[in-house]
Amino acid sequence: MISVVAETYKVHPQTLRLYERHGLIRPARSAGNTRLYDEAAIQRLESILTLTRELGVNLAGVEVILGLREQLGRLEADLETLRTALEQLERDHRHGVDRTRALVPVAHRALVKR
């Protein structure tokens, strides 16, 4: 609920509504349209408050920073996917090389090395 979050983090409920209008936080809504702040929304709010209160960043800067943070997260996930795919390709390649070597007779291998 907005009142609980506002009191906990010592911000005015209008400030939370402003953050929501700017797309900085996206609380879920109950059937009665009450704002529900999950762990992700709370963590995001904590980041916003750190940026604004402790670092003096304005809302436009917060939007940029949080957008870049999200983009970085997506890129890191993409990188991990690519690493996993590369590891699989390397395993497949090694397996193919091993199978090929098993098919080539030893005497023929000796001739090829010359």
105 and 72 share one domain:
yes
- pTM > 0.85: no
* pLDDT over 70 at 108, yes or no: no
pLDDT digits (tens, 9 = 90+) for 5-52: 999 999 999 999 999 999 999 999 999 999 999 999 999 999 999 999
Give percent of the chain above pLDDT 90.
80
Token couple for 7: 């009191």
Name the average pLDDT for the chain: 91
77 and 42 share one domain:
no
41 and 73 share one domain:
no
Q: Which domain holds residue 35?
A: 1-57
Residues 6+ apart with CB under 8 A from 112: 104
Yes or no: say if 45 and 25 are a contact pair by the CB < 8 Å rule: yes
The pLDDT, as a whole number, for residue 103 is: 76
Helix, coil or strand: residue 112: helix
The pLDDT, as a whole number, for residue 107 is: 59
